[in-house]
Amino acid sequence: MNNIRSKRRVSASAHAAAHAAAHAAICIIAAIAGLAGCASTPPVPAAPRAPTAADMTFESISTRYLDEMVALTPVNATALGDHRFDGALDDVSAAGYGRRVALARELLAQMQGLDSTQLSRANQVDARLLASELGYQIWRVEELAEWRWNPLIYTELAGNGVYLLMARDFAPLPERLRNVGARLTELPRFLAQVREALDPARVPRIHAETAVKQNTGVLTLLDQLVIPQLGALPEAEQAKLRSAIAHAHTAVAQHQIWLEKRLLPEAKGDFRLGAALYDAKLRFALDSPLSREEIRTRAQAELVRTRADMYNIARGLLQSRPDAPPLPPAPSADEQQAAIAAALELAYEQQPARDQVFDTARHAFEQATSFVRAADFVTLYDDPLEIIPMPEFQRGVALAYCDSPGPLDRGQKTFYVISPIPADWSDAQVKSFLREYNTRSIENLTIHEAMPGHYLQLMHSNRYHSPLRAVLASGTFIEGWAVYTERLMVEQGFLGGDPLMHLIQLKWYLRSIGNAILDQAVHVDGISREDALRLMTRDTFQEEREAAAKWVRAQLTAAQLPTYFVGVQEHVALREEARMKWGKSFTLKRYHDTVLSFGSPPVRYARELTLDLPIQ
């Protein structure tokens, strides 16, 4: 989330250079850590001290990164809350990507001389994050080369170019409308660059199909968010903006023709990354000591353990029911499957009507907030939240997400965003969806996305003093925290200790486990759609609509789905380590407030900061 990611076209001769850049980033991290050849004794934590020359050097590097890299990615700048470039769209030409890579290499070179013994503990962490991020940017351009084959990068940029200006009141409405007009003026140039950048033969068909669906979403945003607000401008400026909107319609229509008539028929790329690219992306994206093989081993073990826990709950729920399936103490695989499925049916019976999903989510948020406030296991702030429908240009990948204000913005509301049920879905598809998103599942979803999950955690994170750490937030920390809070709420007795709520929470945990298995199975092991759907619908009890959507998501993304499982594993382990180390002084509130006070770094660094360990 919120990380600046760069891409650029390079020739085959640059392949080795990209490997060298990634290796250089790792070596810089080692150098910053005070390691000689990646093997030495980590520095002993020092008492707080005045900034050193090394601190000031690093601050100048990080300031330059925030100023100059953000300037090269204007839409991301708006997302972060830096509004200096709200009237510009990204340069997505080969030269534009080249400028980002050149800056990343230059900043990496400047970091070569940094030594952790001369940096504050906070800067030790931030220096490692920045070195890793710069290496990741270079790798994504030169090795992954996603900018050449993923059209969804560009549908998201085009949509966010408008949406981010209109969604929040960070500036007067006329100013934001003028910037919308400026961006729309650049849209024909932007879309022409997209057509030049993408190589249709390398684009996977699933990506092309999704881009065809998403492309016109920017026009829906104009109709819904911009045109109704035209009266805020003087007449002359209204005419200018209307003209920009008309030109945008033409540009999007031309791009739609290209997507449908050129890109889609010629899309022959493989959506599977393969082991080498996947493992490299996993290392960058997770920043975790766990390898792909270790993640798979842990996930398989947790799958077995969690299903056993679900069976024990099912026995308690079903034992007095005359229609219960066999419930032996040591069930066979089929007996376990049947019992869990039968117990889940009890939860599926309670679901919202098709048009009541948003009202159910609002009620769930109110319930969760009241419970967290009464339980007092973490500090709450009063930052505003609104539950809204997902913008059209972002639909088709995930059901819901938390859209927090940029870390450089202040006083703006968080959006808990939910995709509406598609109007063209059949009754059978809607039934499948609402079985998956029954009333208790919406409770769990709301815990994850809002309270005390993403919404609460990012409220804390945005209060951390370092803008660099906020910009380089760890998805593994963020998603892991959200899954951790699902478990936490059940542990603390949410909904009166309702066993069906516990069962649904464990089902959602199974989904996180399944995510980790599925992601590498898709991109490395070559799992078929049939086997992937079996993993999801049988092993982790997901409904057909959820499983079908997840299959699409797994093809469209890589190394994001494991963040949930890896992150929650690390969060749970850290809490237990803190409990052991702090002894009688451990309380949940002390622990939660402490671990959330450092922003959103990878959990490995949150551990070292929380427990006052050397930064390694």
Band of residue 122 on the pLDDT scale cut at 50, 70, 90 = very high
> What is the DSSP secondary structure assignment for residue 388, as one 8-state letter?
E
Angle, helices 499-520 vs 292-318, to 10°: value is 150
The answer to whether 80 touches 70, Cβ cutoff 8 Å, is yes
Q: Which helix (H) or strand (E) holds 244?
A: helix 235-258
In the Cβ-directed half-sphere of 252, how many Cα atoms lie within 13 Å?
25
pLDDT of 24 over the 50 cut: no
What are the angstrom distances between the C-alpha of 95 and each of 98, 141, 157? 5, 12, 18
What are the angstrom distances between the C-alpha of 264 and each of 155, 454, 531, 614? 15, 36, 26, 52
pLDDT tens figures, 483-518: 999 999 999 999 999 999 999 999 999 999 999 999
Q: Which helix (H) or strand (E) holds 396?
A: none
> What is the DSSP secondary structure assignment for residue 278, as one 8-state letter?
H
pLDDT tens figures, 351-399: 999 889 989 999 999 999 999 999 999 999 999 999 988 877 666 556 7
Structure tokens at 471: 């910009």
The answer to whether 93 touches 584, Cβ cutoff 8 Å, is no
- Name the average pLDDT for the chain: 91
pLDDT of 39 over the 50 cut: no
| The pLDDT of residue 36 | 33
In the Cβ-directed half-sphere of 493, how many Cα atoms lie within 13 Å?
6
The string over 194-221, giving b where at least 16 C-beta atoms fall within 10 Å of a residue's C-beta and e elsewhere, is bbebbebebbbbbbbbbbbebbbbbbeb
Q: Among the listed ranges 6-10, 198-202, 295-299, which one has the minimum average pLDDT value?
A: 6-10
The answer to whether 73 touches 6, Cβ cutoff 8 Å, is yes
| The pLDDT of residue 35 | 36
Longest alpha-carbon distance in the chain: 77
| Domain residue ranges of the chain, discontinuous segments joined by + | 10-144, 146-271, 348-385+421-610
What are the angstrom distances between the C-alpha of 384 and each of 256, 330, 511, 546? 37, 49, 29, 30
| The pLDDT of residue 394 | 66
Dist CA 404 CA 381 (whole Å): 14
Mean pLDDT along residues 413-418: 91
Dist CA 143 CA 15 (whole Å): 6
Sheet with 385-389: strands ordered across = 385-389, 414-418, 400-403
The answer to whether 455 touches 416, Cβ cutoff 8 Å, is yes
Radius of gyration of the chain (CA): 24
> What is the DSSP secondary structure assignment for residue 84, as one 8-state letter?
G
| The pLDDT of residue 48 | 56
Q: Which helix (H) or strand (E) holds 416?
A: strand 414-418
pLDDT tens figures, 288-341: 989 999 999 999 999 999 999 999 999 999 999 999 999 999 999 999 999 999
